[in-house]
Amino acid sequence: MKKLVLIAALLITSSFAQNSHAELNADPAAKPKSENLKDDAKDVKADAQQKAAVKDEKKSSKSKNQKDAAKKETAKKEANVSDTTKPVVVMETSLGKIEIELDGEKAPISTKNFLRYVDEKFYDGTIFHRVIKDFMIQGGGFTKDMNQKSTHEQIKNEAANGLKNTRGTVAMARTSVVDSATAQFFINTVDNGFLNYQSPDPRGFGYAVFGHVTSGMDVVDKIRAVSTGNKNGMGDVPTETVEIKSVRRK
């Protein structure tokens, strides 16, 4: 009987020791498995939200940078249009080069308009389609096959700016409507005082001068001397095409 009691006591002591050892080895900070899963899910969600926020921030920053770049490009183009009040362009024709100085101070609208077409290379491949020896040479609106090019909007007539239609000056061509000029221009081969501004009414408003030839009047004289005839229902058209190969800022 004493042996049985002793054995039972030993078993109880051993069980207590094992349980105590398990408790001592347990992590006091450890949480139940269900709690750990919830925390992991929270961490994953927070990480996803952080990544989404970073992505949105980068996207917003990229969009802002693109907008800023577009604004700078627009400002640059506008600055190029009016970077000087006396810009010079070089016109390469099939008969030689003509340099033209524009007057952005007295004719800002016409100058900006002309440079817009220059920068778009609009004049490349057009022709001098109307030539009258002792009057003027006109071009910038038709292709070699006599097709008229589409243009931007019409502009305000600046004929009252004080500039005169003298030999070598460049003016905007137009219809009988005062504010109807677009892309076509003409170079006066002689003094044409009757084209100057005289009065605000349509008959006396005149034609807006916006520049003058600084080099290449010999080329202008070559063009004025070409033979002309009728073509596609138009008169004074050179029988041998005089092409404007290009017009570029100098």
What pLDDT score does 143 carry? Answer: 98
C-alpha distances (whole Å) from 108 to each of 133, 140, 158 are: 29, 19, 9
Please list the residues that pair with 132 across neighbouring strands: 136
**Across 40-44, 129-133, 185-189, least confident range:** 40-44
The CATH class of 88-249 is: mainly beta
Q: Where are the domains of the chain?
A: 88-249
**pTM over the 0.75 mark:** no
pLDDT, tens digit, for every residue of 178-207?
A: 999 999 999 999 999 999 999 999 999 999
Spatial contact of 239 and 228, defined as CB atoms under 8 Å apart: yes
Q: Residue 205: what residue type? A: F
